[in-house]
């Protein structure tokens, strides 16, 4: 049985683990390591510290399967200011939060999942790879899949730098991401958010790009749980304030929010989230969903940086990575 490590418990990583289990079944032992405290990556869902049922999607904005499990359903709530999309495009919402999509795939994979494990080194040891995490712990694997943002791949030590040389390094260094902040505002039960929409995009604002009444978006409001509001900043604001202390950023965003919605009630708590790698602006040129750094033992990179920064791009990358794994293990 081959031991496969998937680094990153976001959409691409969780889907890779799930598809690998379905296609290779008992031939692989799958482990997932995630540096954060929970699954989801940029599809994270946060909860109010006072009410776990009051949630907010602070992350990024196989459909039939997800719909059949109740994880996705068509978006029916009113949206203002959304850019026109291709004819026939359908919009979906995750009733239990965006992270429920990732958690579904992780459950289906049967993988051994560990959080708070930030990989620092990947190096050859015998017939496989020795992977070290911050703090010095190390384990050996027959294959490793890296689904973290491209700049984090470039920071890895061990044998990775020598595998990324010349034109390949230039391609990876050319990948760029937009940066944003997300703010989650949580309210006590019975609070009314008096706006006529569930979501709204704001053109031309120097700070705020998008606001969502998250419980209304998911149609999951409950008398016992309060509403939640999500605010995403625009790309320019994220870039200009990327290194500012989160407390100071929160003050700026809240001041701008007060101008846009002056009658907004006082929240019980506010969470700010910095997304240094929000959406991919320039992907890896010619990667077609993945790049194989080493074939035997296998070390492969995937994620939206190798396709495009949306749900379908992550699916495409996961499918390509699993093809490589099937032919190599």
Helix (H, G, I), strand (E, B) or coil at 227: coil
- 176-192 confidence digits (pLDDT tens): 999 999 999 999 999 99
Tokens standing for 237?
């604001």
* pTM of the predicted structure, to 2 decimals: 0.88
Check residue 17 and give its pLDDT.
96
Check residue 282 and give its pLDDT.
94
Query: Start-end ranges of CATH 3.90.660.10 in the chain?
Result: 46-95+178-281
Reply yes or no on domain 2-42+100-175+283-328 having CATH 3.10.290.10: no
All residue ranges of the chain with pLDDT < 70 are: 43, 59-69, 76, 78, 82-90, 218-223
Check residue 44 and give its pLDDT.
78
Are 233 and 240 in contact by the 8 Å Cβ rule? The answer is no
Cis bond upstream, residue 297 (ω within 30): yes
Check residue 48 and give its pLDDT.
87
Reply yes or no on domain 46-95+178-281 having CATH 3.30.43.10: no
Q: Where do the DSSP E strands lie in 214-304?
A: 228-233, 269-282, 290-294, 298-302
Query: Start-end ranges of CATH 3.50.50.60 in the chain?
Result: 2-42+100-175+283-328
């Amino acid at each position: 049985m081959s031991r496969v490590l998937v680094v990153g418990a976001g959409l691409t990583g969780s889907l890779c683990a799930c598809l690998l289990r379905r296609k290779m079944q008992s031939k692989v032992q799958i482990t997932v390591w995630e540096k954060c405290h929970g699954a989801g990556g940029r599809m994270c869902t946060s909860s109010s510290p006072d009410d776990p049922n009051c949630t907010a999607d602070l992350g990024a904005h196989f459909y039939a399967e997800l719909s059949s499990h109740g994880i996705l359903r068509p978006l029916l709530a009113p949206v203002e200011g959304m850019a026109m999309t291709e004819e026939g495009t359908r919009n979906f919402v995750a009733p239990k939060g965006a992270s429920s999509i990732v958690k579904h795939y992780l459950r289906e994979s049967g993988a051994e999942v560990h959080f708070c494990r930030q990989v620092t080194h990947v190096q050859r040891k015998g017939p496989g790879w020795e992977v070290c995490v911050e703090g010095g712990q190390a384990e050996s694997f027959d294959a490793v899949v890296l689904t973290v943002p491209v700049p984090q791949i470039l920071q890895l030590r061990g044998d990775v730098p020598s595998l990324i040389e010349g034109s390949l390094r230039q391609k990876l260094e050319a990948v760029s991401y937009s940066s944003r902040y997300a703010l989650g505002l949580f309210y006590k039960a019975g609070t009314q958010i008096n706006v006529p929409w569930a979501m709204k995009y704001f053109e031309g604002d120097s700070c705020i790009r998008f606001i969502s009444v998250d419980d209304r978006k998911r149609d999951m409001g409950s008398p016992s749980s309060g509403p939640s509001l999500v605010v995403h900043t625009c790309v320019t604001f994220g870039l200009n304030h990327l290194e500012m202390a989160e407390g100071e950023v929160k003050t700026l965003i809240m001041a701008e929010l007060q101008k846009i919605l002056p009658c907004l009630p006082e929240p019980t708590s506010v969470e700010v989230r910095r997304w240094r790698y929000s959406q991919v602006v320039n992907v890896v040129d010619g990667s077609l969903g993945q790049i194989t750094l080493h074939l035997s033992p296998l070390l492969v990179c995937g994620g939206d940086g190798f396709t495009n920064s949306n749900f379908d791009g992550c699916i495409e990358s996961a499918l390509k990575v699993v093809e490589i794994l099937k032919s190599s293990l």
